[in-house]
Structure 1
Amino acid sequence: MVTWDFMLPYYGDVQLMQGAVRSVLAQTDPDFRLVVIDDGQEPDVPGWFAELGDERVHYIRNERNLGITENFRKCVRLSEADYVVIMGCDDVLHPHYLETVRGLVRAQPGIGMIQPGVEVVDGEGAVVAGLVDKAKRKVYAPQVNGRRTMAGEELAVSVLRGNWLYFPSISWRGEALRKVGFRPEYSVIQDLALVVDLLELGEAMLIDNSATVFQYRRHAVSESSVQAFTGTRFTEAARYFHAVAGRMDARGWRKAARAARFHSGSRLHAITMMPGALRRGQRAGVRNLARHAFTPGVRGQD
């Protein structure tokens, strides 16, 4: 019987984290382990976990703040199960999540990645469909009616064109995940990098949208957040797309290389951020966003 690890890298809102934990404990399939790695210093959190009294729950508080990428890498190192979920500390599992993905593995043993059905909720838990998620589903995601398996260059082209995946909802084959892990040089685009790395190793993804089993929380970008509109996050994205385009060329995946160089989904995201940057008077941010959105991709060996 396949067992699952739910790895929960935590930092931030205590109540949302508690909701995420309760959603794991409410699974109809009880055969799992939940490991929470606390990268914060909220005083009442350790006591709350001690009071749960559930032997499936393992709570660890970091001695010092590791930051997002290093805490994610720690989650991978401490995972043990055949399949692993690295869920967000503010996301919510439907009660049948584990029952559903376990059934998918039984139907397709050894599958490397499983992207189940997802709905997006806002900070209050209401189901929403904003511009980003509409673009993901209508423009970039493959049209799947039920189940579909994708792998190799086909999936690489799809996600490099526009990353339509919901990373915290994915179940990863543990052996493959632990072999690859997260690249330490990325802090924003590490989820896409992981998927492409696994595709290069020959792993496949099973996409199943026949049932919604996960709530992905998307918080509104605060107008008061200067950092959100500086455009610096796209500097990392551009660096990644340039590097991965070269790898795709070397592998002979020319369509994937072109998708990486053009990275239309990332460009569209930068464009959507520009009005907010203008309203905030972030001139440098507008320049950074415009540079990412409108600078032609580096030509390869097409």
Structure 2
Amino acid sequence: MLDIMLPHYGELPLLRTAVQSVLAQTDDRWRLTVFDDNPAERVTGVPEYFAGLGHPSVRYHRNPQNLGITRNFQQCVDRAEAPFLSMMGCDDVMLPGYVARVHDLIGQHPDAVLIQPGVEVIGSDGAVVKTLADTTKRRVYSPRVAGTTRLTGEDLAVSLLRGNWLYFPSLVWSTREVQAVGFDLELKVIQDLKLILALVARGGSLVADDVTVFQYRRHNESLSASTAVTGNRFSEARSFFLAAAEQMDAHGWPRAAKAARWHLSSRIHALTMLPAAAKQRSTESVRVLTKYAFGRPR
């Protein structure tokens, strides 16, 4: 059984598409739980949609008060019951073979802590797209994956600190391991990387697969994108990477510590955000982004 935990914040049409993609799985060894964290004014039609589904493997929970992104993620982790879970985005799409492929990989690697299935990127209209960010992920930061590859230890930490090439909503997690660590509730946009690095430091392995079974939706309306333009993302990221460098040093992983201090891909990302910040005439955002991109590593 795979627990598919879906933290919901968006609009009903995209949520409906996501849910229907789960219902269309060729392997029925799944259970879907939706945690609706939308503000009250955006809930219209969502409870009625799930009531109308009447599917025994679909559960809907409306948070009595808004938790925010990270606390809703943590709720997904805390409420999982199956040995493995995924935290699907409310605007993403599982291709019909996702659950079947994940179970195959779990069977081959039952002690894996993380599984990264094959992913393709789609735009707001659902069409497959190739963006600069995703091309860079694959060609520069992602390790070469031919078939199925198992990654562990400092090499994995270094690759993620140079550039986080994972697609968080597509990941499959060992429930026991992720419940033992949990998210940092103080973080808003880089909480996934901190959790993943903690799992790697505990000795966890990641299995990466090249069979495409998931569609990740890339658009500019996400919290991550909006906070990037304002510079808030990079204030959080700078603190995270400096702390990560100290942790990697303490763990005896000097190459990972160096990668954390340089955090090259994050600096490049800040540079790409500068034109948008300048266009908005946000002096403070330009200052934060410039300092982050060109600041000396500590």
Same fold (TM over 0.5): yes
Q: Distance in 2 between matches of 1:257 and 1:290?
A: 23
Q: Which residue of 1 aligns with 2:29?
A: 31
**Which position in structure 1 is the counterpart of 2:244?**
244
Partner of 2:153: 152
SS of the counterpart of 2:161?
A: helix
Q: Aligned runs of 1:65-214 on 2, under 5 Å?
A: 65-209=66-210, 211-214=211-214
Query: Residue 228 and residue 249 in structure 1: after superposition, are their counterparts in 2 closer, same or farther (change >3 A)?
Result: closer
Contact 1:122 1:220 in 2 (8 A): no
TM-score by length of 1: 0.95
Pairs within 5 Å for 1:55-70: 55-70=56-71
Gaps in structure 1 of 5+ consecutive residues? none
Q: CA RMSD in A?
A: 1.3
Structure 1 CA distance for aligned equivalents of residues 153 and 241 of structure 2: 17
TM-aligned CA deviation for residue 228 of structure 1: 4.7
- The equivalent of 2:284 in structure 1 is 284
Deviation at 1:293, TM superposition (A): 0.6
Using the TM superposition, give the Cα deviation of residue 43 of structure 1 relative to its aligned residue in structure 2, in angstroms: 2.2
* 1:220 Cα deviation from its structure 2 partner: 3.0
> How does the TM-score come out when normalised to structure 2?
0.96
Q: What's the counterpart of residue 273 of structure 1?
A: 273
For the residue of structure 1 that corresponds to 2:13, the secondary structure is helix
Q: Match of 2:72, as an amino acid?
A: N
Runs of at least 4 residues off by over 4 Å: 225-228
> 2 CA distance for matches of 1:163 and 1:155?
10
Correspondence 1:10 to 2:8: yes
- How far off is 1:283 after superposition? 1.7
Percent sequence identity is: 50
Q: Tell me if structure 2 keeps the 8 A contact 1:229–1:282.
A: no
Q: Give 2:256's aligned residue.
A: 256
Aligned-partner SS, 2:4: strand
Deviations along 1:158-177, one digit per CA (max 9) or x if unpaired, are 00111110011011011111
1:223-272 per-residue CA deviation (whole Å, 9 max, x = no partner) reads: xx975522111000000000110010011100000000000010011011
- Are 1:294 and 2:294 matched, yes or no? yes
d(CA) in 2 for partners of 1:176 and 1:257?
23
Query: What is the deviation of 1:221?
Result: 5.8
CA distance in 2, matches of 1:170, 1:177: 12
For this pair of structures, how many residues does the alignment match?
Answer: 293
